[in-house]
Amino acid sequence: MKFRSILAASAVIVATGFGTATIAQDLPMPVQARQGQFKMMGLNIGVLVAMARGEADYDADRAQAAADNLVTLSSIDQSFHWPEGSDNMTLVGTRALPEIWDNLPDMLDKWGAFGAAADGLAAAAGEGLDPMRAALGPVGNSCSACHDDYRASD
Amino acid sequence: MRRLLLILVILALVSAGAFFALTMPDRVAPEELADLTGDADAGGAVFWAGGCASCHAGEDAEGEDRLILSGGQRLASEFGTFVAPNISPDPEHGIGDWTLAEFVTAMQNGISPEGRHYYPAFPYTAYRMATRQDMADLFAFLSTLPASVTPSEPHQVSFPVTITRGIGLWNLLHLRDDYVVDGDLTEHEARGRYLSEALAHCAECHTPRDATGGLDRTRWMAGAPNPTGRGTIPALTPDELTWSVEEIAAYLNDGFAPDFDTAGGQMAEVVENLSNLTSEDRLAIAAYLKALPPVGE
């Protein structure tokens, strides 16, 4: 009996310890929110990339849904995701470069360019594999354009 | 006293002579290339694998404009900032009046037609391992591109880096005639090694440098500080880069990582170049990366 409760207690301790270690080290909410936003972008782009590469069969409905999700994500107002002091010099666990806060309007323009590319993708995604593939390139380029200037390489 | 002076003068003359002899520009003779005929179509593949456009196309050039090799891109380093020259077929500002022998001398020995050493920001140390046929094909391809009259800009370097003859000494240390990765490679991996070590010069960014600015061959592709001063360039050894061969090859074609993150920085341009290769060649590069000795720390 006693043994079982000790075992249970240690299990709880181990589980909590493990839990704390795996949650993104208590990053501020805005950082977690923007990272979640980029993960959702990655998930939806991934659906389209798999089709573009021929790893998955082209499916007009799935392609359209993924592209529409990207348009929706691009419409999220960024006002609350980028507070001062959330750069990679200040926090561990983000790759956001301090340059963002020197050029915030430019960074937001690049976010806008992603929106424009996503609109183009949504117009083409359901029209066939080749049109979707052609419209996917500009979306990837819009990601890179911002990463080039505002994200650390590691 | 006079005797000491005499000895010093002789020593100085001997070292000057040795410096002069050791740093003598080494030229390729036209006779060595007499039976080569360049094929411009085949040269296109060498051009994209060699990444020429990454430095020699104008800054921010996109699409077809990446074939106008007017130069102008800047490469930061701790030795100064190097500016890529015009290598378009314009006879005055580019390389339009070069012979094949002059071209091969530049590409593989790092020596200009005027007999000056190029700075090793130009990766002749890698291209040295390329086949002469590939060099002839590349030369033929370059001559089909549009000419540009943009003058080449001077490098932004200061003394003593300005003494290009000193690069002759640097070459004694770093201009090698062997591959870094040796041992038993399959034909496929060996093709990947040729593409990576001789043409695409991946190591120029992905391998750390020693105090003289040469690549540290004992830490090949182990990742390195970014010369722009921000962040690091990732390691490509199999203990660090754990993507599958197929994932690496797909990334080199479309720039999407396995988590659908995108290539950024200079790698985005590398992907643009490598997307022009055959998928077989991209798979070969991936296979070569998997054959690298792990460097894990």
Task: Tell me if B148 sits within 8 A of B95, measured CB to CB.
Answer: no
Nearest by CB to residue B231, choosing from A42, A53, A152, is A152
Q: Answer left, alpha or beta for residue B26, where phi above 0 means left and psi between -120 and 50 means alpha.
A: beta
Are residues B268 and A148, on separate chains, in Cβ contact within 8 Å?
yes
In this complex, is the C-beta atom of B236 within 8 Å of any C-beta atom belonging to chain A?
no
Q: Does the beta-carbon distance from B254 to A52 stay under 8 Å?
A: yes
B27-149+160-174: CATH number: 1.10.760.10
| B218 vs A: CB within 8 A | no
CA–CA distance, B266 with B205 (Å, rounded to integer): 10
B61 or A74, which is more confident: A74
ipTM of the complex: 0.72
| pLDDT score of A114 more than 80 | yes
> How far is Cα A39 from Cα B68, in angstroms, rounded to an integer?
38
Phi, psi (rounded to 5 degrees) for B266: -70, -25
Task: Please name which of A57, A42, A66, A55 lies closest in space to residue A129, comparing C-alpha atoms.
Answer: A57
Measured between beta carbons, the chain B residues lying within 8 angstroms of A153 are: 226, 230-234, 264-265
Query: Is there a shared CATH topology between the B27-149+160-174 domain and the B187-290 domain?
Result: yes
Instruction: Please state at what angle helix A129-150 crosses helix A60-74, rounded to 10 degrees.
Output: 30
Query: Which residues of A lie closer than 8 Å to B, measured between beta carbons?
Result: 42-43, 45-46, 49, 52-53, 97, 140-141, 143-144, 147-148, 151-154
β-strand partners of B110 = none
Each residue of B107-139: pLDDT tens digit?
999 999 999 999 999 999 999 999 999 999 999
Residue B18 banded pLDDT, cuts 50, 70, 90: confident
Percent of chain B with pLDDT over 90: 74
Q: Which chain B positions have a beta carbon within 8 Å of A45's beta carbon?
A: 256, 260
pLDDT tens column, B220-275: 999 998 887 667 889 999 999 999 999 999 999 999 999 888 877 788 889 999 99
The DSSP call for residue B117 is B
CA dist list (Å): B43 to A65, B219, B233: 43, 31, 29
Distance (Å, rounded) from C-alpha B65 to C-alpha A137?
A: 18
The CA–CA distances, whole Å, from A36 to A41, A67, A116 equal: 9, 18, 21
DSSP line for B14-53: HHHHHHHHHT---PPPGGGGTT----HHHHHHHHHHHTHH
Are A24 and A9 in contact by the 8 Å Cβ rule? The answer is no
Give the integer Cα–Cα distance in Å for B72 and B146: 16
Chain A nearest-CA distance from B254, in A, is 8
Nearest CA in chain B to A48: B260
Amino acid identity of A102?
D
Q: What torsion do the CA atoms of B230, B235, B241, B247 make, to the nearest 10 degrees?
A: 70
The answer as to CATH 1.20.1260.10 being correct for domain A28-150 is no
Domain ranges of chain B: 27-149+160-174, 187-290
Nearest to A154 among B234, B255, B261 (CB): B234
Reply yes or no: is the peptide bond before residue B160 cis, omega within 30 of 0.
yes
Ordered DSSP codes for B45-79: HHHHHHTHHHHHSPTT--GGGGG------EEEETT
Give the integer Cα–Cα distance in Å for B245 and B237: 12
Output phi, psi for B156, to 5 deg: -100, 80
Residue B215, phi then psi, degrees to nearest 5: -70, 135
Is B293 strand, coil or helix?
coil
Q: How confident is the model at residue B296 (pLDDT cuts 50, 70, 90)?
A: low
State whether residue B230 sits within 8 Å of chain A by CB: yes
Nearest by CB to B260, which of A45, A97, A144?
A45
In CATH, the number for domain B187-290 is 1.10.760
pTM above 0.95, yes or no: no
Instruction: Read off the tokens for A55.
Output: 């790893």
What is the largest distance, in Å, between two alpha-carbon atoms of chain A? 67
**Residues of A in Cβ contact (< 8 Å) with B232:** 153-154
Cβ neighbours of residue A146 closer than 8 Å, sequence gap 6 or more = A107, A110, A111, A114
Domain ranges within chain A, ordered by starting residue? 28-150
Tokens coding A25: 């080290």
Give tens-digit pLDDT for B157-206.
888 888 888 899 999 999 999 999 998 999 999 999 999 999 999 999 99
User: What confidence score (pLDDT) does residue A15 get?
Assistant: 45
Residue partners of A83: CB distance under 8 A and separation at least 6: A28, A30
Give the nearest partner residue to A154 out of B232, B260, B262, using CB atoms: B232
Q: Which residues of A touch B261 (CB under 8 A)?
A: 42, 143
Closest approach of chain B CAs to the CA of A42, in angstroms?
5
